[in-house]
Chains A and B, each alone.
Chain A
Amino acid sequence: MSTATSTPTGTGSEPGRRQAAHKNGPGSKRGRVQQRWLPWAFLAPTIVGMGIFTLLPIVASIALAFFRWDIISAPTFVGFDNFAEVVQDPTVRVSFLNTIVFVVVAVALQLGLALGLAIMVQEKLPAWLRVFFRSAFFFPLILSAASVSIFMRYLFNEQFGVVNWLLSIVGIPAVPWLTTPTGSAAVVILVYVWQNFGFSFLLFIGGLASIPVETYEAASIDGATGWRKHWFVTLPLLSPTTLVASVMAIINALQVFDQPYVLTRGGPGDSTRTAVMVIFESAFQRLEFGEASAIGVILTLIIMAITAAQFRLSKRFVFYQ
């Protein structure tokens, strides 16, 4: 991305000016005026739209966090009251804690699974098998998280679900998946990872393909084989990809909503309630828009902090070729 923005792109103006000269003669006023507003005509739909639906809402969201407003009566300024209330609210606290636990476990599973499978797919394999595995692992990404959660809820049914039936074959007694706090949390994590590991997998496949074959040849001449080869060659050379994959996985996981909403509605109790679910509930079920905005601002700050921390850490641990 950074290389892209710094690439010179001045070629566009040259033909434009020449064209104006060609059409209207040298120094024509009309040509120059047209050139000036033209880019803005191209940009207008995107820039105006983003101003209204992204930039304005960001500012409004921050402002709203300092007001109490239920949409019906006039908003009243309350200073930091919303933040104070939100930070003390036990439901909000539990939800943020749940979200953090979810992010840590789900992202670790997602990245581990994706990396392991990517290494296995990328090594010597018949081409058609490689295509098949790539498509298979990518497939869940095209489904809606809501639909996935619908059928997964049946699969994890305690009495009639396929998961417990499979476990019973191995002699494991029925697990109360969706009726206990740990069971529910496990289902939300498993369903989320099932659907999303394919994305990290694709990133790792791309990263592995960019490691030059000569590096492995050199390593094998030095006597590295099997897992040592991956530990000493693949992992260090893959670290830029790992950084990108983990940043994206963490940011996405922090915003988890669809799966817990459909699978458990945040229950039992508050055991699978997440940060975004709390935003949704306080805004659109309890009509506390100020509080919802305050939670949103906190979540955004956490996301920004994690992103910044990861890029800072990367300076120490990421190895660029």
Chain B
Amino acid sequence: MTILQERVTTTAPVVKRKKRDWSVAIRVVVLLIASVFVLGPVLWTLSTSLRPPSESFQLPPAFLPLNPDLTSYEQVFKQLNIVALVVNSALVTGLIAVGQMITAALAGYAFAHLRFRGRGALFSIVLATMMVPAQVTIVPVFMLIRGVGLSDTLLALIIPAIPTAFGTFLMRQYFMGLPGELAEAAAIDGASPWRTFRSVYAPLAMPGLAIVGILAFNFHWNEFFRPLIMTISEQNFTLPLGLVSLQGNLGTGSISVVLAGVVLSMIPALVVFMFGQRALQDGLTAGTGK
């Protein structure tokens, strides 16, 4: 083996190897510059939030928080009812995510493993609704919510977001990947169709459900358009809405306070990024292949 290796290395032309190293180096440098442009603004946000408000617009900017100062974080709790915002955002996001996981699992299972009339047509309709932009349906949804007396409540944000075409599509794909023989085996053991779903298929579909949940979390935690329309009073604001109104209320003198709020709002997203990045990437690009 050593002889073989030696032969390979000695016969490979030295010039060519050097050239290839250069091209790798150039690529790495270009990619590093791109990552600096992508991550730089976030680092600046973090380090500026850790400065006293009076120094927040200091130039040259600091990208690393060398002398962390928590005044801005104290301030953001005083200037903004941030606890209420976090509670609202968590309630809205959490309930939507759980609601989507349950309804998508049920519907996805029916489309994948149960037989009924009009299944294909119904599934096509579900897929077609994915193409309608939310901004087009928002006016009638707003009127409906107002009509049933739910305007300016968190339920106005939660209920319309629970039925999910994309989640149903994802779960159908996931359940189709599980063999139908499992249901047969369960039936022989005397399990009812509901038990077959609940105890056999649903547990196996947990990774798919996690993707649906993470996608719902990522989207609705960051959502701005619907909360802007559906909520009126500040006690019902979610985090992005509260932060934008804080930026409007405060002058440029206390930008570190606003940025402290922005950093706090990013924490759950960061947790998802660290532990569920793969699931999130798979979910976002699901259905785009082929």
A200 to B141, CA, bound (A): 31
* Residue B266 CB within 8 A of the other chain: yes
Contacts of A218 in B (CB 8 A): none
Task: Determine if B41 and A155 form an interchain contact, defined as CB atoms under 8 angstroms apart.
Answer: yes
In the complex, which of the residues A38, A55, A147, A160 has the most CB atoms of chain B within 10 Å of its own CB atom? Answer: A147
Interface size class of A (residues with CB under 8 A): 35 or more
**Could you give, for residues 128-159 of chain A, a 1 whenever the CB lies within 8 Å of some chain B CB and a 0 otherwise?**
01001101111111111111001111110100
Task: Determine if B137 and A303 form an interchain contact, defined as CB atoms under 8 angstroms apart.
Answer: no
Partner of A57 from B137, B287, B289 at Cβ < 8 Å: B137
A151 to B257, CA, bound (A): 11
In the complex, which of the residues B119, B172, B180, B224 has the most CB atoms of chain A within 10 Å of its own CB atom? Answer: B224
A10 to B137, CA, bound (A): 35
Partner of A157 from B42, B179, B252 at Cβ < 8 Å: B252
Q: Which segment of A18-26, A78-86, A180-188, A311-319 sits at the interface?
A: A18-26
Task: Determine if B247 and A153 form an interchain contact, defined as CB atoms under 8 angstroms apart.
Answer: yes
A165 to B60, CA, bound (A): 7
Task: Determine if B243 and A150 form an interchain contact, defined as CB atoms under 8 angstroms apart.
Answer: yes
Partner of A154 from B143, B181, B186, B255 at Cβ < 8 Å: B255
A240 to B45, CA, bound (A): 38
Contacts of A258 in B (CB 8 A): 224-225
Contacts of B269 in A (CB 8 A): 142-144
Task: Determine if A144 and B193 form an interchain contact, defined as CB atoms under 8 angstroms apart.
Answer: no
Partner of A11 from B183, B188, B221, B225 at Cβ < 8 Å: B183
* Prevailing SS type, chain A contact patch: helix
A124 to B21, CA, bound (A): 10
Give B150 Cβ to nearest chain A Cβ, in Å: 12
* Residue B115 CB within 8 A of the other chain: yes
In the complex, which of the residues B39, B41, B191, B259 has the most CB atoms of chain A within 10 Å of its own CB atom? Answer: B41
* Residue A276 CB within 8 A of the other chain: yes
Contacts of B111 in A (CB 8 A): 43
A280 to B146, CA, bound (A): 17
A280 to B284, CA, bound (A): 27
Contacts of B192 in A (CB 8 A): 19, 23
Partner of B288 from A18, A38, A203 at Cβ < 8 Å: A203
Name which residue of chain A comes closest to B259, CB basis: A151
Partner of B284 from A151, A202, A303 at Cβ < 8 Å: A202
A135 to B42, CA, bound (A): 14
Knowing A138-B281, A165-B59 are in contact, say whether A206-B289 is a contact too (CB < 8 A).
Answer: yes
Chain A contacts with B in 251-284, Cβ cutoff 8 A: 251, 254-255, 257-258, 261-262, 276, 279-280, 283-284
* Prevailing SS type, chain B contact patch: helix
Give B52 Cβ to nearest chain A Cβ, in Å: 16
A289 to B138, CA, bound (A): 11
* Residue B272 CB within 8 A of the other chain: yes
Give B202 Cβ to nearest chain A Cβ, in Å: 11
**Could you give, for residues 15-57 of chain A, a 1 whenever the CB lies within 8 Å of some chain B CB and a 0 otherwise?**
1101100110000000000111011101101111110111111
Contacts of B194 in A (CB 8 A): 38
Task: Determine if A262 and B244 form an interchain contact, defined as CB atoms under 8 angstroms apart.
Answer: yes
Task: Determine if A194 and B38 form an interchain contact, defined as CB atoms under 8 angstroms apart.
Answer: yes
Give A179 Cβ to nearest chain B Cβ, in Å: 14
Chain B contacts with A in 69-104, Cβ cutoff 8 A: 102-104
Partner of A146 from B59, B136, B188, B222 at Cβ < 8 Å: B222
Partner of A139 from B38, B57, B138, B197 at Cβ < 8 Å: B38
Q: What are 29 pairs between A and B in contact, CB < 8 Å?
A: A3-B290, A4-B173, A5-B124, A15-B187, A38-B114, A42-B109, A43-B106, A45-B162, A46-B126, A47-B107, A47-B122, A49-B163, A53-B163, A54-B165, A57-B136, A60-B140, A136-B34, A137-B38, A140-B38, A147-B262, A151-B45, A162-B44, A194-B37, A199-B284, A248-B288, A262-B244, A293-B139, A300-B136, A303-B131
Other CB < 8 Å A-B pairs besides A55-B125, A147-B222, 6 of them? A1-B127, A4-B172, A15-B187, A50-B126, A150-B258, A280-B228
* A residues at B contact (CB < 8 Å): 1-5, 7, 9-16, 18-19, 22-23, 34-36, 38-40, 42-43, 45-50, 52-58, 60-61, 64, 71, 113, 117, 120-121, 123-125, 129, 132-133, 135-147, 150-155, 157, 160, 162, 165, 194, 198-199, 202-203, 206, 240, 244-245, 248, 251, 254-255, 257-258, 261-262, 276, 279-280, 283-284, 289, 292-293, 296-297, 299-300, 303-304, 307
